[in-house]
């Protein structure tokens, strides 16, 4: 039976990923990602018909009324959690990439300024922390441009890349390529950046993100900081010990309202301490894409690993 052509790529680098090293000879590039979303979530306070339940532990009861306790769980991230997270990154001298909702930056100007002051990469996570799945391509383009411009106004930086809350539609990538984004992260399909696939692909590099090495599992699969730290360390050690030729990227998703709580912040602090003693390169996502682009072109990747004998 013929296989339907879906423009999806199930082969990728396969057994022969590119053979190169990250700067300083590192085998694993670590991308820490700060999700700046607080105040951009759906809420009655914002005029929405319901409150968002994303990544916190307080159940929303009833509808149509504000729940100040629920709102406060998000506020913690902006008021306290983000500052703790930034202090930990400063202590270790490691950079991060901030996936910023424009509205969250507008509501917390000191936080926006501190992200820039500390040298973290500014990326675009939408104007609000909203879903785009129901939008047509033109409406989504208008929203992407409005968030890009608002983030620029809040930070003085044009966002480098785009990460959608709930996934990319087929029409989104061409919009990103022609509106000045340099790569995107809406993928979970590889351990390295790649050029995407399918006819008409606009050759915008893709740096896959990670849903497992992500603090969104706190309160769920990671009931304690120790469980999260163990998970992160195991992922790094696997990437270091794997006999796969060539380097890898490890993305770590962080949310100030979660990892910024003192008990959970310990997990990040200890993981960074561990990783700094290993063959790891902490870098922004733009730095990782730039290092990878230097050894590749859309047509071919230089220096592929030899096939296994």
154 binds Zn ion (CB under 5 A): no
CA 280 – CA 249 distance, rounded (Å): 9
Nearest CB to Zn ion, comparing residues 35 and 155: 35
As to burial, measured by CB atoms within 10 angstroms (0-12 exposed, 13-18 middle, 19+ buried), residue 33 is: buried
Other beta carbons less than 10 A from residue 85's beta carbon: 22
Q: How far is the CB of 186 from Zn ion (least distance, A)?
A: 11
Q: Pseudo-torsion of CA 9, 173, 249, 157, nearest 10°?
A: 170
Cβ closer to Zn ion: 186 or 296? 186
| Least separation in angstroms between CB 3 and Zn ion | 34
Q: Does 251 bind Zn ion (CB under 5 A)?
A: no
Query: Toward Zn ion, which CB reaches closer, 35 or 154?
Result: 35
Name the residue whose CB lies closest to Zn ion.
35
Collapsed DSSP state (helix, strand, coil) of residue 289: helix
Residue with tokens 């769980």: 73
Q: Which of residues 2-61 bind Zn ion (CB under 5 A)?
A: 35
Residues 192 and 247 sit within 8 Å (Cβ to Cβ): yes
Q: How far is the CB of 163 from Zn ion (least distance, A)?
A: 7
Q: How far is the CB of 37 from Zn ion (least distance, A)?
A: 5
Residue 98 CB, nearest approach to Zn ion (Å): 11
Nearer to Zn ion, 35 or 182 (CB): 35
CB of 206 to Zn ion, least distance (A): 17
147 binds Zn ion (CB under 5 A): no
CB 103 within 8 A of CB 79: no
Number of amino acids touching Zn ion (CB under 5 A): 1
Question: Dmax over Cα atoms in the chain, in whole Å?
Answer: 65
214 binds Zn ion, rule: CB under 5 A: no
Closer residue to Zn ion, CB minimum distance, 99 or 281: 99
CA dihedral 11, 17, 22, 25 (to 10 degrees): 160
Beta bridge partners of 29: 249, 281
Interface residue list for Zn ion (CB under 5 A)? 35
């Amino acid at each position: 039976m013929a296989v339907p052509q879906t423009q999806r790529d199930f082969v990728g680098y396969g057994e022969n990923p590119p053979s190169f090293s990250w700067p300083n000879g590192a085998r694993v590039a670590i991308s820490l990602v700060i999700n700046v979303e607080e105040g951009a979530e759906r809420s009655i306070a914002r005029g929405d018909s319901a409150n968002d339940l994303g990544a916190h532990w307080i159940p929303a009861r009833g509808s149509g009324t504000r729940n100040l306790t629920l709102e406060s769980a998000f506020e913690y991230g902006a008021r306290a959690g983000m500052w703790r997270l930034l202090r930990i990154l400063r202590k270790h001298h490691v950079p991060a990439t901030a996936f910023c909702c424009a509205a969250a930056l507008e509501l917390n100007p000191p936080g926006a300024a501190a992200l820039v002051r500390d040298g973290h990469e500014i990326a675009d996570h939408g104007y609000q922390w909203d879903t785009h799945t129901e939008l047509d391509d033109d409406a989504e383009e208008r929203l992407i441009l409005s968030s890009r411009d608002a983030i620029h106004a809040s930070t003085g930086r044009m966002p480098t890349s785009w990460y959608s809350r709930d996934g990319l539609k087929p029409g989104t990538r061409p919009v990103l390529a022609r509106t000045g984004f340099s790569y995107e992260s809406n993928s979970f399909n590889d351990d390295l950046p790649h050029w995407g696939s399918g006819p008409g692909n606009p050759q915008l590099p893709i740096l896959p993100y990670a849903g497992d090495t992500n603090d969104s599992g706190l309160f769920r699969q990671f009931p304690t900081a120790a469980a999260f730290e163990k998970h992160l360390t195991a992922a790094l050690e696997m990437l270091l010990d794997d006999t796969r030729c060539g380097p890898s990227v490890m993305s770590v998703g962080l949310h100030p309202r979660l990892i910024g709580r003192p008990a959970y912040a310990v997990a990040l602090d200890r993981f960074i301490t561990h990783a700094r003693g290993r063959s790891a390169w902490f870098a922004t996502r733009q730095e990782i894409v730039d290092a990878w682009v230097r050894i590749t072109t859309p047509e071919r990747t230089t220096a592929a690993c030899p096939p296994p004998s």
